Structure 1
Amino acid sequence: MVPGEILYCTQDVEINVGMPVITLKVVNGADRPIQVGSHFHFAEVNAALEFDRASAWGKRLNVLSGGSVRFEPGAVVEVELIDIQGRRVVRGLRGLCGGSLDGKDFSI
């Protein structure tokens, strides 16, 4: 190996294999683009994004870590969502969860 050399995988890298996936249609009702990162609790994204938020509770985008999806104004985008893993605790963001995702009554 040469210092600074990048070694690429010769096979496709599969992410989130075997995890249940849901697909939602999202409409950006804003007049500006909105970008959402890979690990953001999707139910709490910008209020200008229109979709079934109850179905998105406890879920995140099914994209590579550090990736994101950009929603242009007026665009309809289909996204895949998967369950947030680990302790399933969300703090901050829009303040809708404020702790454990499980056992909460979803209401936005």
Structure 2
Amino acid sequence: MHASTSPDAPGAIRVRPGTIEINADRAPHERLRVVVVNTGDRPVQIGSHLHLPDANAALEFDRAATEGFRLDIPSGTSVRFEPGVSREVDLVALRGRRLVPGLQIKEAQHG
């Protein structure tokens, strides 16, 4: 038996022709491009909605500059950073107050 290739078959995916630009409504100040280097000895994979400063410590990049940002990639996808390799990635700002409590515990500043 052969699987049905009909666009009306159960489970068929129907898409409109054309291209979809993700996060098209974002202003220039809500976008950022950074270089990330995996200084570790193992691959690191970052998912689409991880607050980038909370990423694996083996990844080297300007964490302060990326506060409130995530990767600008489709939802549910990820980017893999191979050991010793640098990669330029596009980021997009989180919406709202850009706060992501609970992922990493920040040291309290005593003064």
Question: Where on the TM-score scale, by shorter chain, does this alignment land: which range?
Answer: 0.7 to 0.9
Give the TM-score normalised by structure 2: 0.79
Do residues 66 (structure 1) and 76 (structure 2) align? Answer: yes
Structure 1 residue 85: Cα displacement = 1.3
Structure 1 vs Structure 2 CA RMSD: 1.5
Structure whose CA Rg is larger? 2
Count of aligned positions:
96
Alignment equivalent of 2:48, drawn from 33, 38, 47:
38
Please list, as runs of the form range in 1=range in 2, the aligned pairs for 1:12-51 lying within 5 A after superposition: 12-19=19-26, 20-51=30-61
Give the TM-score normalised by structure 1: 0.81
Query: Identity over aligned residues, as a percent?
Result: 49
Gaps of at least 5 residues in structure 1 are 97-108
Q: Point out the more displaced range, 81-90 or 59-68.
A: 81-90
Using the alignment, how far apart are the partners of 2:36 and 2:71 within structure 1? 12
Gaps of at least 5 residues in structure 2 are 1-7, 107-111
Structure 1 residue 87: Cα displacement = 5.5
Using the alignment, how far apart are the partners of 1:65 and 1:57 within structure 2? 19
Runs of 4+ residues deviating >6 angstroms: none
